[in-house]
Amino acid sequence: MGFNSFEFALFLPVVFLLYWYVFPQRKNQNRLLMLASYVFYGLWDWRFLLLILLSSWVDFYAGIHIDKHRGSSRAKYYLWLSLAVNLGTLFVFKYFGFFINSFIAFFQMAGVPMPSLSLNIILPVGISFYTFQTLSYTIDVYRNRIETRKNWVDFFAFVSFFPQLVAGPVERASWLLPQFEKDRQFNIEQAKEGLRFILYGLFKKLVIADFLGNKAHELFSTYESQSGSDLLLGLYFLYGAYIYTDFSAYSEIAIGTARLFGFKLSKNFAFPFFSRNIEEFWQRWHITISTWFRDYVLILSLRSPLRKLGMFPLMMLMFAAIGLWHGANYTFILWGVLNGLVFWVYLKLRKWGWVTATEGRAKLTDIPSILLTNFFIGFLLVFFGSNSLGSAFDYIRRIIDPSFFTFPEYATYYPVILGLLAWEWPFREGWHGLEVAEWHPVIRWTLYFLMSFGVMYHFGQVKDFVYFQF
């Protein structure tokens, strides 16, 4: 049941009415949210529920026993139990086939005969997201950053909260769990803002992202026959724009839906294509996952014996892990490592005084640095979108072709992206591109009507959100 489906259009108002008018007490609201989340998730495949229930149960009881045995070696045992169950489950369902086939390929290249192996393991939707979310709880309990929770309903509702269950934002237990433990009162202004989030997200998904999606996939599937100009510009104006509009749309709908129920989720995108350097980009792109890796991988590594490796190797390992999180493919790993390398070079240049850190909101005079940043970020997407390293390098090779100087065939799509960026520029320090509550009512409601018409026109043409595959 996706946000862009008829089923969700019926599901959301029913849960909303039950939540506020039938079960106004907090405890019953949490029970309703937990049940509704399991229905929402189970409609993909009821077997997936077993995994999320396992993760929730293990981490709930691991947290209790970590607190009970705090200061002893048994506390660390329960932390490792949580890590083993969660990361082990993630490994089996997402990475086992990748590593086994890589192992076989390595020995075959060395001349050792190895049998081929084909595994048909279904990747559970959202497993990469809720696994990291629930791990934040046990790690922070072990670090004594948050208190152990004893109410299993609140905890299970936190892990399975349906607005952000499938594709984030990846919430920290320290931020979202306390919201389940407080009484919530309906706030009309908060609900209005939630609806603006949802409308803008649906518009970006149905009208823009789905429009670009087919051509973005066509760009990579038929790159051998595309001109060099289309191959280069398509990385930015088709594929990059498609990934951004599709994924940020999901986050905006999730944030808006949560606000309808009195919850505030974390900001996941902050207009990343207005970033003036790669450091700022990673502070604006998929914020909740990049900060998760920073806090739970890089910083904890620097406080462990791994710090002897040095900052550069640990930073490369972190970015490699970010790439691997996105998918079981060497293309994602290289994409992550190259982003880390560019990030490292930028930090060195700043240390040497060759570049300066950016402050405040982006200005028109920052456009050259914005374009330079997007050049690096967009070009590296060739690895993100390719099926293999061979096809990625072949894609790059075909850019350097006499056809690079021809007029791009996909140029008719580019004004859509330029128009979106021009629209979002005034909102670049806000939460989304529809923060128009203070506009004149006639202009505001005309805008709402036009965007709603676009959403309704395309509604029902269900295409999965791109990050469902991660």
pLDDT of 1: 74
Query: What confidence category does residue 117 fall into, taking pLDDT thresholds of 50, 70 and 90?
Result: low
User: Given phi > 0 = left and psi -120 to 50 = alpha, else beta, which region is 353?
Assistant: left
pLDDT, tens only, 445-454: 999 999 999 9
217 is catalytic: no
Does residue 408 contact residue 238 with C-beta atoms inside 8 Å? Answer: no
**Catalytic residue from among 326, 432, 440, 458:** 326
Of the candidates 265, 241, 250, 214, the one whose C-alpha atom is nearest the C-alpha of residue 4 is: 250
- Over residues 202-229, the mean pLDDT reads 90
CA distance 299 to 282: 16
pLDDT of 107: 65
Q: Look up tokens 């529920």; give the residue.
A: 49
Is the model more confident about 17 or about 301?
Answer: 17
Most confident of 82-96, 186-200, 355-369: 186-200
Buried b (16+ CB within 10 A) or exposed e, 346-376: bbeeeeeeeeeebeeebeeebeebbeebbeb
- Over residues 270-281, the mean pLDDT reads 93
- For residue 94, pLDDT over 70 is answered with yes
pLDDT of 458: 85
Global pTM reads 0.92
pLDDT of 292: 94
pLDDT of 115: 66
pLDDT of 182: 94
Does residue 145 contact residue 174 with C-beta atoms inside 8 Å? Answer: yes
- For residue 122, pLDDT over 80 is answered with no
Alpha helices in 69-126 (DSSP H): 73-90, 96-109
Query: What confidence category does residue 108 fall into, taking pLDDT thresholds of 50, 70 and 90?
Result: low
pLDDT of 468: 67
- For residue 440, pLDDT over 70 is answered with yes
Q: Using H for helix, E for strand and C for coil, what is the string for 144-212? A: CCCCCCCCHHHHHHHHHCHHHCCCCCCCCHHHHHHHHCCCCCCCHHHHHHHHHHHHHHHHHHHHHHHHH
- Over residues 254-258, the mean pLDDT reads 96
pLDDT of 119: 61
pLDDT, tens only, 17-50: 999 999 989 999 999 999 999 999 988 888 889 9
- Over residues 2-16, the mean pLDDT reads 90
- For residue 98, pLDDT over 80 is answered with no
- Over residues 397-416, the mean pLDDT reads 88
pLDDT of 436: 92
Does residue 327 contact residue 470 with C-beta atoms inside 8 Å? Answer: yes
